[in-house]
Structure 1
Amino acid sequence: MHARLMVVVAHPDDETFGCGSLLLHAAAAGATTAVVCATRGEAGEPAPGSGVTAAELPAERERELRAAAELLGVARVDLLGLADSGMAGPPGPGTLAGADPAVVAGRVLAHIEDFRPHVVVTLDAGDGHRDHAVIRDATLAAVGRSKWRVPRVYLQCLPRSLMRRWLLHLAGERPDSPYLEADVPGTPDELVTTIVDTGRHLARRERAIAAHASQVSPYEGMPDDLRRAFLTSDHLRRVVPAWDGGAPEPDIFSAAVSSQAVQD
């Protein structure tokens, strides 16, 4: 059976910086993939030297999203039409964090029932960004309401042990970074249920990262070993069906597709 993967994210570049290798892995396995993005990243800041103005940023970030998605083998890209909420301050009207949660979930639900994915992946919000938490909650709510029963749902994770390595590197390079004053971000390692080896897709993912030229990549300036640790293995937390323990599973598709055969 032909597998379908839907990745639901908050901002242009989440699909690449967070889930790029997984999308490449899925496409290489013959799956049809879709990205649903809630916003056009209006509240971001143009990267120094990008030549992009604040007024141009939403259109440019959408263009980058579509260009990166093409590099990642994504079959379709859909936007939910909400605005980027930014990192702090009262969320404005029409923003992802300011919207009625039921409305956000309803928009995700429409795409789930149209695309009928075997696997849905969204962000686990371990980085603390409120928009990531909102789209996570909306996606899980949409899955729960959908007439199309999604066999497998995952949260994309950054393991806390890996984030500790990043903070150690950051302390040596930028000891005044505000990230060093906060709690260690990321997902506790014991909650990671799935580790997919995506190393063979590194070069193409790097090209997709470069397509988001208006934004500063979170991997910029990392030593090679740390960069590869982030970009060559995808870590996920399976939430549907609930994880029953044991060694991490190495893939996301086979059981999902076989369990969906009757519904198709």
Structure 2
Amino acid sequence: MKQNKTVAFIYAHPDDETFGCSYLIRSISEAGGRPVLLTATRGDAGKTGHLGAMTREELAAKRDLELEKAIEILGIAAAEQLGMGDGKLKEVEPALLQERIAEFLTRHRADVVVTFPEDGLSGHRDHIVIHHAVNKVVYGGRAPSVQKLYYNQVGSYASDKSSVLRVEAGERWEAKRRALEAHQSQVFSVERVFGKLGAMVPPGHQFESFELAWERGVHYPRKEENSVFDGLI
């Protein structure tokens, strides 16, 4: 059942996939599934860490390379970038963003989608725009292959309205650590969230959690799950 099933990760910036989904991505690959990634921007409005001053184009090129390395470490089967304005997704015509997301999901015949929750996790405006665009596509039936939609979830690993899937770090922390290190320009953000990276899983990061928001027309179903593949037909 898991073999060749495709899980699509839809995010705003390079590194979003690594911060929130490394354990999940690795677990999908380990189970014989196919993780794919769509990133809306190249992250060229971000900081440069210890790399010094850069133009926006130089930073974009650097972050392209960082993402390529993280993709290889995590085992992502295919990745695409839309090249839209970093920090300016709210200015993008919603129909255009939705069209590009729907096209990506349809072309890859995605069975499952993972994206930001309503608050974007951090309140970032680009994250929130992606959340609403993905909802419009999935809930509107514009990607017919999609059976399930998950949101990143942080905190208690529990929800009052839905089921929450937890993915343990275990040996996957090493891949997450290396992927985080690959995003060199974002070292300050990495250290703010995870502290100094080392061999041990940082406190509070033993799990990644994901709320099941939708499954074949049912919003926030309550069910026991061990994997994003559970219940797929």
8 Å CA contact retained: 1:109, 1:146: yes
Q: Distance in 2 between matches of 1:64 and 1:223?
A: 17
Coordinate RMSD, CA, aligned: 2.2
8 Å CA contact retained: 1:197, 1:250: no
- For residue 81 of structure 1, give the secondary structure of its aligned residue in structure 2: strand
Give the counterpart of 1:239 among 192, 213, 220.
213
8 Å CA contact retained: 2:102, 2:143: no
User: Can you give the 5+ residue segments of structure 1 that lack an aligned partner in the other structure?
Assistant: 86-94, 163-187, 260-264
Q: Distance in 2 between matches of 1:100 and 1:132?
A: 15
- For residue 37 of structure 1, give the secondary structure of its aligned residue in structure 2: strand
Note the 1:168-179 alignment, pairs <5 A.
Answer: none
Q: Distance in 2 between matches of 1:40 and 1:111?
A: 17
Q: Distance in 2 between matches of 1:140 and 1:146?
A: 10
For residue 227 of structure 1, report the CA deviation from its aligned partner: 2.3
For residue 35 of structure 1, report the CA deviation from its aligned partner: 0.5
Residues 1:208 and 1:202: Cα distance change in structure 2 (over 3 Å): same
1:201 aligns with 2:169: no
The runs of at least 4 aligned residues of structure 1 exceeding 6 Å deviation read 222-226
Give the counterpart of 2:132 among 137, 144, 147.
137
Q: Distance in 2 between matches of 1:121 and 1:67?
A: 21
Letter in 1 for 2:124: H
Counterpart of 1:107? 100
Letter in 2 for 1:208: A
Counterpart of 2:41? 39
Counterpart of 1:53? 54
For residue 97 of structure 1, report the CA deviation from its aligned partner: 1.6
Q: Distance in 1 between matches of 2:141 and 2:222?
A: 26
1:128 aligns with 2:102: no
Residues 1:109 and 1:147: Cα distance change in structure 2 (over 3 Å): closer
Question: Between Structure 1 and Structure 2, how many residues are aligned?
Answer: 219
Q: Once the two structures are superposed, what CA deviation does each residue of 1:183-209 show, in whole Å capped at 9, x if it has no partner? A: xxxxx7435622222322111110011
Q: Distance in 1 between matches of 2:143 and 2:38?
A: 19
Counterpart of 1:117? 110
8 Å CA contact retained: 1:64, 1:212: yes
Q: Distance in 1 between matches of 2:94 and 2:101?
A: 11
Q: Distance in 2 between matches of 1:136 and 1:198?
A: 25
- Sequence identity of aligned pairs in percent? 32
For residue 157 of structure 1, report the CA deviation from its aligned partner: 1.4
8 Å CA contact retained: 2:213, 2:221: no
For residue 223 of structure 1, report the CA deviation from its aligned partner: 9.8
Counterpart of 2:90? 97
Counterpart of 1:27? 29
For residue 220 of structure 1, report the CA deviation from its aligned partner: 4.1
Q: Distance in 2 between matches of 1:249 and 1:196?
A: 11
Q: Distance in 2 between matches of 1:156 and 1:53?
A: 31
For residue 240 of structure 1, report the CA deviation from its aligned partner: 1.5
8 Å CA contact retained: 2:148, 2:212: yes
Q: Distance in 2 between matches of 1:66 and 1:102?
A: 28
1:250 aligns with 2:226: yes
The TM-score normalised by the length of structure 1 is: 0.76
Counterpart of 1:78? 80
Letter in 2 for 1:239: A
The TM-score normalised by the length of structure 2 is: 0.85
Residues 1:57 and 1:7: Cα distance change in structure 2 (over 3 Å): same
1:10 aligns with 2:6: no
Point out the structure with the larger strand share.
Answer: 2
Residues 1:220 and 1:254: Cα distance change in structure 2 (over 3 Å): closer
8 Å CA contact retained: 1:157, 1:235: yes
Q: Once the two structures are superposed, what CA deviation does each residue of 1:100-138 show, in whole Å capped at 9, x if it has no partner? A: 111111110110110011111011113211111111111
